[in-house]
């Protein structure tokens, strides 16, 4: 990432070729020649004169060997991103404290949550969290009431101009019965809702849909139709899901298939036709199955992160590559 070019530096601080992209920054500057003298073939040459009257120089190429390596600003690493102020919550789902937010204060509520840590399969650490719905039994879920969310949480009621990036590892383990659903959302089944990322199953195909709503009053309706961000998710395969949504509803998803070692949906972008909104509903992760047939619908989640800004593709990849090769 970057290029190496040769610049002549003038004493007034300007450079030959200063019409470059302003996002490109000078890095790793080799010894500067401006305003100094250098012996070239035993002839003392004033550099200021060199830069303005190069036609009088002998072996000017020797002077131009003083080059500047120009590189784009590198993306933040995983370790830098998770300690940044923009990282609002980080749930690693470790068995010793599976509900703990190790970055912020948004621990999952033990009264609203009953999901269990799974030490048999995980992507980082020593465990993940299992979300499960067994027909006829209470589902295993995670939940946190809006009033208990930190003021910095981008979907909390009252937050102004929210933007959001949500990243996590996801592994569907049992998907039986059309109509099954796995949600990460704020407002499913409630009158006041804002965001839903749903993994659904139909005729054996597990696919992911994104929904937004600006506090619609009908629980079954969203302001915009669903936007497909991925399909054909295989059971017992880890996927890294990363989705960014700007305040105006424009979005980008990045999905990594850890078995195929490839991007599943490469830089998918779109517009949702509605701004990202807040709501008073519970922030939760849950599963449910069709009420008409016995089924088990389950998945594991690991290393879930929330940011209050849109991440770049490079930053999304930096988060994923902490625990998966490129």
- Give the pLDDT confidence of 225-247 residue by residue, as tens digits: 567 888 888 888 999 999 999 88
Residues 52 and 200 in one domain: no
Inform me whether the pLDDT recorded for 221 exceeds 60: no
The SS3 of residue 49 is helix
Q: Is residue 36 in some structural domain?
A: yes
Domain boundary among 72, 107, 126: 72
Residues 13 and 116 in one domain: no
Residues 105 and 54 in one domain: no
DSSP output for 122-184: -SSTT-EEEEEEETTSPPB-EEE-GGGS-TT-TTBTT-SS--EEEEEEEEEEEE-STT-EEEE
Q: Give 3-state DSSP helix, strand, coil % of the chain, rounded to 5.
A: 10, 40, 50
Q: State which residues form the domain around 58.
A: 3-72
Residues 101 and 65 in one domain: no
pLDDT confidence of 202, banded at 50, 70, 90? Answer: confident
Domain boundary among 72, 93, 128: 72
Highest mean pLDDT among 34-38, 283-287, 305-309: 305-309
Residues 152 and 186 in one domain: yes
Residues 181 and 201 in one domain: yes
Q: Is residue 127 in some structural domain?
A: yes
Task: Indicate the average pLDDT of the chain.
Answer: 74
Inform me whether the pLDDT recorded for 53 exceeds 50: no
Q: Which two tokens stand for residue 146?
A: 């809006």
Asked if residue 47 lies in contact with residue 57, where contact means CB atoms within 8 angstroms, the answer is no
pLDDT confidence of 46, banded at 50, 70, 90? Answer: very low
- pLDDT above 90 as % of the chain: 35
More confident residue, 225 or 320: 320
Q: Is residue 110 in some structural domain?
A: yes
For residue 304, what pLDDT is reported?
Answer: 97
Residues 23 and 157 in one domain: no
Q: Is residue 326 in some structural domain?
A: no
Highest mean pLDDT among 59-73, 104-118, 132-146, 254-268: 104-118
Q: Is residue 46 in some structural domain?
A: yes
DSSP output for 54-87: GGG-SSHHHHTT--EEEEEPPPPPHHHHHTSTTE
Residues 7-19: tens digit of each pLDDT: 444 444 444 444 4
Q: Is residue 223 in some structural domain?
A: yes
Residues 128 and 13 in one domain: no
Backbone angles phi, psi at 39, to 5 degrees: -85, 120
CATH number, position 201: 2.60.120.200
The whole-angstrom distance between residue 50's C-alpha and the CA centroid of its chain comes to 49
For residue 142, what pLDDT is reported?
Answer: 92
Residues 65 and 115 in one domain: no
The SS3 of residue 52 is helix
Residues 292 and 262 in one domain: yes
Residues 82 and 39 in one domain: no
Residues 74-131: tens digit of each pLDDT: 678 999 999 999 999 999 999 999 999 999 999 999 888 889 999 999 999 999 999 8
Q: Total structural domains in the chain?
A: 2
pLDDT confidence of 308, banded at 50, 70, 90? Answer: very high
Residues 48 and 86 in one domain: no
More confident residue, 206 or 295: 206
Alpha-carbon dihedral sign for residues 210, 215, 220, 222: negative
Inform me whether the pLDDT recorded for 211 exceeds 60: yes
Q: Is residue 31 in some structural domain?
A: yes
Inform me whether the pLDDT recorded for 69 exceeds 80: no
Domain boundary among 18, 43, 72: 72
Q: Is residue 178 in some structural domain?
A: yes
Q: Where does residue 152 fall: left (phi above 0), alpha (psi -120 to 50 degrees), or beta otherwise?
A: alpha
Contacts of 169 (CB under 8 A, 6+ apart): 123, 124, 128, 238, 239, 240, 241, 300, 301, 302, 303, 323
């Amino acid at each position: 990432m970057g290029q190496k070019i040769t610049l002549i530096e003038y004493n007034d601080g300007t450079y030959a070729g200063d019409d470059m992209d302003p996002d490109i920054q000078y890095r790793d500057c080799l010894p500067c020649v401006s305003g100094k003298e250098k012996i070239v073939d035993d002839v003392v040459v004033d550099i200021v004169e060199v830069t303005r009257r190069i036609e009088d120089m002998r072996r000017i190429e020797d002077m131009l060997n003083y080059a500047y390596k120009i590189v784009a600003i590198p993306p933040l690493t995983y370790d830098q991103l998770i300690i940044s102020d923009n990282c609002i919550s980080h749930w690693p789902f470790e068995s010793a404290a599976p509900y703990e937010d190790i970055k912020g204060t948004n621990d999952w509520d033990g009264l609203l949550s009953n999901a269990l840590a799974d030490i048999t399969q995980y992507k980082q650490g020593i465990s993940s969290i299992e979300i499960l719905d067994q027909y006829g039994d209470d589902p295993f879920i995670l939940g946190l009431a809006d009033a208990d969310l930190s003021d910095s949480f981008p979907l909390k009621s009252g937050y102004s101009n929210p933007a959001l990036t949500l990243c996590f590892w996801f592994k569907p383990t049992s998907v039986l019965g059309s109509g099954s659903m796995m949600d990460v959302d704020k407002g499913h089944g409630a009158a006041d809702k804002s965001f839903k990322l749903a993994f659904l199953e139909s005729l054996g195909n597990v696919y992911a849909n994104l929904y937004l709503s600006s506090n619609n009053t009908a629980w079954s309706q969203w302001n915009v139709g669903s936007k497909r961000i991925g399909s054909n998710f295989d059971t017992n395969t880890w996927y890294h899901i990363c989705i960014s949504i700007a305040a105006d509803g424009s979005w980008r998803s990045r999905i990594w298939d850890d078995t195929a070692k490839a991007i599943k949906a490469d830089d998918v972008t779109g517009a949702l036709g509605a701004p990202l909104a807040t709501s008073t509903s519970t922030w939760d992760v849950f599963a449910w199955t069709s009420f008409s047939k016995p089924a088990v619908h389950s998945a594991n989640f690991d290393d879930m992160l929330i940011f209050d800004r849109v991440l770049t593709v490079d930053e999304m990849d930096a988060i994923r590559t902490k625990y998966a090769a490129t």
